[in-house]
Amino acid sequence: MIDMAVFKQFQDAISHLGEMAQPEKLSDQERLSRAKAVMRQKTDRALAMDLEACVNCGYCSEACHFYQSTQDPKYTPTRKLDLLRRVHMRETSAFAPIRRLFTRDITVDDLQEWQELVYDACTECGRCSMVCPMGINIARGVNVMREALYEAGLAPLELMAVAQEQAGRGTVFGVGPAELLQTVEALRAQGIVIPFDAPRADVMLVSTVIDVLLYQDALAATARILNHLGVNWTLRSTGFEAANFGLLSGSESLQKAATKRLVDEALAIGAKTVIMPECGHAYPALRWDGRLDNGDPLPFEVLAASEFVGREVQSGRLQLQPGDASQTYTYHDACKLARHGGVIDEPRAAIRALGGDFRETAPTAELNWCCGGGAGTFLINRAAPLRHKAWEIKREQIDATGANTVVVSCASCRLNFMAGAESDQWPTRIASLVELVAEQLPTDKAH
């Protein structure tokens, strides 16, 4: 558990990220032509069908926390794809020469307006697609819009700054191998065994800047669980960062480079399994988008920390000490884990093993509400009021369960929950899944 004072220091530090961005100086014409080039290039058959299939039924609005919490029509999910749709209709659709006659071209002002819609007001949570009768993948279209805006130099400065840092220096928020080593040494001083930079290992544990700076207990907890299970694992200084600011900002080249760093590291040590930290977006970035250089699928398994722990519980290999039966738990499904990744049963198995009273939210699992802070929105200063409105839906959903603890398995969700709790004086305990599990490990020699 971290105290609120430390969290507020972190919040204050990240509020200055935008000041470090170095935006490219581009003319309006250059911005427009770069953005359109990305839109054209990324409009494959699946996206073209998505752009043409919308019947304007409005169901997606009901599913989107940004629309629901504001009732503002500008946040209608399908509208977030309007620029992409217009470029497709005018330039790449079957009847483009005719459609061009009655489809207005996009402008730089449009691009600037859409920056808020696709970065601040979309967490790429995918909930809208769950209810869309046409199965339209709005999150993917939004991601393409982010790529177009990044290329046009129009990403929010906060995300641009961190993407530039990760691409240029290989660090995130100034955290690199030296800072990771400091954390490892601090944990070792507490008696936690961390095999660091082992040349070969069956399992490679990946961490993240947020765990290094804030949630060191989550890293310690995962280490203790791995040690308790007798896993042959390591944490590698040159391939530890799960956060992928290429994916969040829209920089495709950085996304690929950040993923490749992890892939190369896992291959170099012969890992059969890579365990991702409690980090939502990092999981799909490696599991679904990760490929070998030749395009082949990854030759190792990628598991989210909650997925790994839950599987060990389900198999009976991991058994916990009886916990406090008076505890009441509910679970927040991180969108990228549950809706996009199908990690639903495993975290629940782990929570049930804690021994308290587990209460599902309504709705739950793949229809659970997003917390409003994912996909990098947490870092965008101006998005705070909108994010808080979206969070209120989540808070009410948790409150309705009457649980005294909400369990999370994504550091980004955890940050957003803590920000909401801090501003609303919300008393519910916010707890990491791996930390709760580690607290109830049977006593043994491995720490």
CA angle 385, 387, 388 (to 5 degrees): 65
CB of 403 to ligand SF4, least distance (A): 24
Burial letters for 30-41: b for 16+ Cβ neighbours within 10 Å, e otherwise?
ebbebbbebbee
| 143 sits near ligand SF4 (criterion: CB under 6 A) | no
| 80 sits near ligand SF4 (criterion: CB under 6 A) | yes
| 59 sits near ligand SF4 (criterion: CB under 6 A) | yes
**Cβ-contact 290, 302 below 8 angstroms:** yes
* DSSP assignment string, 225-253: HHHHTT--EEE-TTS-B---HHHHHT-HH
Exactly one of 111, 122, 209, 411 binds ligand SF4 (CB under 6 A); that residue is: 122
Report which of 413, 93, 183 is spatially closest to residue 279, judged by C-alpha positions.
413
Exactly one of 17, 38, 125, 266 binds ligand SF4 (CB under 6 A); that residue is: 125
Exactly one of 51, 66, 87, 344 binds ligand SF4 (CB under 6 A); that residue is: 66
Exactly one of 20, 49, 55, 178 binds ligand SF4 (CB under 6 A); that residue is: 55
| 221 sits near ligand SF4 (criterion: CB under 6 A) | no
CB of 145 to ligand SF4, least distance (A): 11
CB of 62 to ligand SF4, least distance (A): 9
Report which of 291, 353, 297 is spatially closest to residue 325, judged by C-alpha positions.
353
Q: Taking contact as CB under 6 A, which single stretch among the options 119-127, 250-258, 404-412, 436-444 is the one that binds ligand SF4?
A: 119-127
| 48 sits near ligand SF4 (criterion: CB under 6 A) | no
| 46 sits near ligand SF4 (criterion: CB under 6 A) | no
Residue 147 to residue 153: CA distance in whole angstroms: 10
Residues 362-401 binding ligand SF4 (CB under 6 A) are 370
Instruction: Report the amino acid identity of residue 262.
Output: L
| 132 sits near ligand SF4 (criterion: CB under 6 A) | yes
DSSP state of 427: -
The pairing of strands 273-276 and 203-205 is parallel
Q: Taking contact as CB under 6 A, which single stretch among the options 37-45, 59-67, 98-106, 264-272 is the one that binds ligand SF4?
A: 59-67
Residue 238 to residue 218: CA distance in whole angstroms: 20
Backbone phi, psi, residue 205, to 5° = -90, 130
Report which of 325, 376, 315, 341 is spatially closest to residue 156, judged by C-alpha positions.
376
Q: Considering beta carbons, is residue 126 or 250 the nearer one to ligand SF4?
A: 126
Q: Taking contact as CB under 6 A, which single stretch among the options 102-110, 126-134, 394-402, 406-414 is the one that binds ligand SF4?
A: 126-134
CB of 339 to ligand SF4, least distance (A): 9
Tokens of 230: 């007798």
| 337 sits near ligand SF4 (criterion: CB under 6 A) | no
Residue 366 to residue 126: CA distance in whole angstroms: 9
Q: Considering beta carbons, is residue 40 or 140 the nearer one to ligand SF4?
A: 140
| 145 sits near ligand SF4 (criterion: CB under 6 A) | no
Report which of 424, 374, 435, 380 is spatially closest to residue 398, judged by C-alpha positions.
424
**Cβ-contact 221, 434 below 8 angstroms:** yes
Q: Taking contact as CB under 6 A, which single stretch among the options 121-129, 188-196, 268-276, 322-330 is the one that binds ligand SF4?
A: 121-129
**Cβ-contact 167, 179 below 8 angstroms:** no
The pairing of strands 328-331 and 357-358 is parallel
| 139 sits near ligand SF4 (criterion: CB under 6 A) | yes
Q: Taking contact as CB under 6 A, which single stretch among the options 136-144, 180-188, 261-269, 433-441 is the one that binds ligand SF4?
A: 136-144
Report which of 206, 224, 215 is spatially closest to residue 183, judged by C-alpha positions.
215
| 83 sits near ligand SF4 (criterion: CB under 6 A) | no
Exactly one of 51, 138, 254, 441 binds ligand SF4 (CB under 6 A); that residue is: 138
Q: Taking contact as CB under 6 A, which single stretch among the options 116-124, 166-174, 214-222, 403-411 is the one that binds ligand SF4?
A: 116-124
Q: Taking contact as CB under 6 A, which single stretch among the options 82-90, 123-131, 294-302, 309-317 is the one that binds ligand SF4?
A: 123-131
CB of 259 to ligand SF4, least distance (A): 22
Exactly one of 88, 127, 281, 348 binds ligand SF4 (CB under 6 A); that residue is: 127
CB of 132 to ligand SF4, least distance (A): 3
First to last CA, the chain: 18
The count of residues in the chain is 447
Q: In what side-by-side order are the strands of the sheet with 301-304?
A: 233-235, 203-205, 273-276, 301-304
**Cβ-contact 358, 331 below 8 angstroms:** yes
| Site residues (vs ligand SF4, CB under 6 A) | 54-60, 63-64, 66, 77-78, 80, 122-128, 132-134, 136, 138-139, 142, 370
